Structure 1
Amino acid sequence: MMPRRSILLFAGLCIVLAAVLAVGTIVVVTGRGDAGSASRQIGSTGQPSVGGPFQLVNQNGQAVDQTLLDGKWSLVFFGFTYCPDYCPTTLGMLEATKRALGDRADDVQIIFISVDPGRDTPQALKDYLSSDGFPEGVIGLTGTPEQIRAAADAYRASYQKVGEGEAYTMNHSLTIYLMGPDGRFRSALGHDLGPANAARIIEQAMARG
């Protein structure tokens, strides 16, 4: 496997806030990949314009679209399999969040959308998501560069390739998007919110429907 280089994640904060402040109030602080980084939800109201149509491929090579969200509460986030820290940490946090939800976890699915189509083939996603310590049943999605860009734009997610050659890395935003069973956005979760707080926000959203 090619060596993994540290990520310096850039803030997609301005893009996210511009999209949501006109229709609600969501404050998400996204820090850089250093000891002082922070990403936390302050609160949310309204129905921001986040999410929408996409055409991607899952880890089994099957074409999927936004109807994948129908009938389930979905935790959607963007990352890549060569991510050395934030993506594995986020997957671990979401596994603990589902445990904290108890029986309600059956209604929640985790969707991992790659921002690295050059390396993240369906098979690469399948191998990565079957690793020990990751939640069972995570749905990995990839596609062409154009398809991934369209999906990221729909979710107001930012990413950028950094470096050249085999050891390049990807900067990407850290937000986890909670989508309702109707496929509409409910809340933004910080990647370091913690399982208990994340479960509480999901339960509150479920109670509101």
Structure 2
Amino acid sequence: MSKLKIIRYGAWAAVIVLAFVTAVTLITQVIAPSANRSTLQPAAIGGPFELVNAAGETVTEADLEGKPSAILFGFTFCPDVCPTTLSEMQGWIEALGPDADKLNYLFVTVDPERDTPQVMGDYVAAFDERIKGLSGSRQQVDAMLQAYKVYSKKVPLDDGDYTMDHSAAVYLMDADNRFFGTIAYNEAEETALLKLRRLVKETPEAS
């Protein structure tokens, strides 16, 4: 093989290696989570709210500060999504052990006309006492749904009753009530627990 061919092959090999390294770098930048978590917490999600707990006490975002939170929006007449997710939340609480007490757990109704504060309290009591049910007036609930960008729609049924279509994800907020991420409906338990443990770990106030 001539010296010129060797030089050419060497140059081609260098180009291929450079292209591969560049591609890997770009893929890593896209897939890998940013070291600055501010890119993962849109300011548009979350904000002030004022609701009522089962004891008739006013609850606001200030009552959550100091601990990160896992928030589910739903309603007590929900046939599957809400009871399934609350059962999963109960499992997360048990699996987290001592770390479970470092988080707030909320179930916020999207149907305050039927879900009074007392109804919400009785409903969540069947799962875990650390899960707090919240309701309020239609105006109060709608204000929180808007702040958290939660989809909710009343759907009429043939018998004259209605059901509610709504967002199914669990919203994760840090100890300063900033958006941290979500746990999807029916997400694998191992993945959900990783997110919750990361939320606790990355929140100094919860340590």
Matched, 1:150 2:143: yes
Structure 1 residues not aligned, in runs of 5+ = 1-24, 26-43
Task: Pick 1 or 2: higher relative contact order, CA cutoff 8 A, min separation 6.
Answer: 1
Deviation at 1:167, TM superposition (A): 2.4
* CA–CA separation in structure 2 for the residues paired with 1:136 and 1:191: 22
Question: Which one has the largest radius of gyration?
Answer: 2
Matches within 5 A, 1:193-204: 193-204=187-198
Deviation at 1:118, TM superposition (A): 0.8
Matched, 1:176 2:153: no
Give a deviation string over 1:130-158, Cα, whole Å, max 9, x none. 22xx1222111111111111100111101
Structure 2 residues not aligned, in runs of 5+ = 1-29, 31-37
- Find the counterpart in structure 1 of residue 79 from structure 2: 84
Matched, 1:127 2:122: yes
Matched residue count: 165
1:97–1:196 Cα contact (<8 Å) kept: no
Which of 48, 55, 58 aligns to 2:53? It is: 58
* CA–CA separation in structure 1 for the residues paired with 2:79 and 2:40: 34
Give a deviation string over 1:84-137, Cα, whole Å, max 9, x none. 111000001111112221221110121011010110111111221222xx1222
1:98–1:199 Cα contact (<8 Å) kept: no
* CA–CA separation in structure 2 for the residues paired with 1:53 and 1:59: 20
TM-score, normalised relative to structure 1: 0.74
Deviation at 1:195, TM superposition (A): 2.4
* CA–CA separation in structure 2 for the residues paired with 1:72 and 1:123: 25
Kindly report the root-mean-square deviation, in angstroms, between the aligned alpha carbons of the 2 structures.
Answer: 1.9
In structure 2, do the counterparts of structure 1 residues 70 and 166 end up closer, same or farther at CA, with 3 Å as the change threshold? farther
1:57–1:63 Cα contact (<8 Å) kept: yes
1:94–1:195 Cα contact (<8 Å) kept: no
- Find the counterpart in structure 2 of residue 5 from structure 1: none
In structure 2, do the counterparts of structure 1 residues 194 and 180 end up closer, same or farther at CA, with 3 Å as the change threshold? same
Deviation at 1:191, TM superposition (A): 2.0
- Find the counterpart in structure 2 of residue 192 from structure 1: 186
Secondary structure at the residue paired with 2:108? Answer: strand
Give a deviation string over 1:31-57, Cα, whole Å, max 9, x none. xxxxxxxxxxxxx95221211000111
